[in-house]
Amino acid sequence: MRIIGLNGSPRAQWNTAQMVESALDGARDAGAQTKKYDLYKLTFKGCSSCFECKRLDYPSFGKCAMEDALTPVLNDVLSADGIVLGSPIYFGDLTACVRAFLERLWFAGLAYNSDYTAVYERRIPVRLIFTMNAPIENFHRQLNESVASTMRNFIGETEILEATDTLQFDDYARYETSVFNVAAKLRRHMNVFPEDLKKAYKVGRDLVSVARKENPV
């Protein structure tokens, strides 16, 4: 049982990364092997529209033919039993690295047949973790549900965990942050974010159970 975690934040140890790692902790405690990738540490780009993944009777049919640092990650993801993908929300959207990753993952699995069905042979359960500096009422749920819907179509059963009003800086005094109530942000980080991490841990544990049912040995 293998669970792959993907940190789509440029910060390798901050909110999103911690949430992904907590989910992987839960998966490990449930008996799974885990591996985490920090996407921003890799050099790759999004889909180049080469359409090699659509060529009939061709070795690259149904998989991304581009060769770069993302290639082994995609192979690892598609052979995993479960996926945890985390991204902060920037300007109402996923980070650039996550978007590029999803282009490569989704498009190769899309068949240009009358039903636009997925060509991937296995269904892999996915847990999406989205973090955002803004309060929950400003969370971009339309975007999140769109991403989850596409993931369900091409990859597998998908659920979302959200963490909002997160801490951006370790020292707010060093930056122009007058828009924030810093004391409130710090209190929330101390009192609420640990609960978010516990939720992520449970997500990881539960994902292993779902994965075992999805692809029993």
Q: Single out the residue of 1, 9, 67, 70 nearest to residue 38, CA to CA.
A: 9
Q: Provide the CA 27 distance to its chain's centre, in angstroms.
A: 15
Reported as half-sphere exposure (CB side, CA atoms, 13 A), residue 81 has a value of 24
pLDDT recorded at residue 17: 97
pLDDT recorded at residue 80: 96
- The share of the chain scoring above pLDDT 90, in percent, equals 65
Task: State the amino acid at position 185 in one-letter form.
Answer: K
Fold of 2-214: Rossmann fold (3.40.50)
pLDDT tens-digit map of 73-114: 999 999 999 999 999 998 888 999 999 999 999 999 898 887
pLDDT recorded at residue 191: 93
What is the rounded CA–CA span in Å between residue 37 and residue 18? 13
Q: DSSP for the chain? A: -EEEEEE-SS-TTSHHHHHHHHHHHHHHHTT-EEEEEEGGGS---------GGG-TTSTTTTS----STTHHHHHHHHTSSEEEEEEE-BTTB--HHHHHHHHHHHHHTB--STT--B--SS---EEEEEE-SS-GGG--HHHHHHHHHHHHHHT--EEEEEE-S----S-GGGS--TTS-HHHHHHHHHHTHHHHHHHHHHHHHHHHHHHHHHS--
Using a 10 angstrom Cβ sphere, with 0-12 exposed, 13-18 middle and 19 or more buried, the burial of residue 32 is buried
pLDDT recorded at residue 171: 86
pLDDT recorded at residue 216: 67
Q: Single out the residue of 23, 118, 34, 13 nearest to residue 76, CA to CA.
A: 34
pLDDT tens-digit map of 43-63: 999 999 999 999 987 788 889
What is the rounded CA–CA span in Å between residue 109 and residue 26? 29
Sequence spans of domains, the chain: 2-214
Where the chain has pLDDT below 70, the residues are 137-141, 216-217
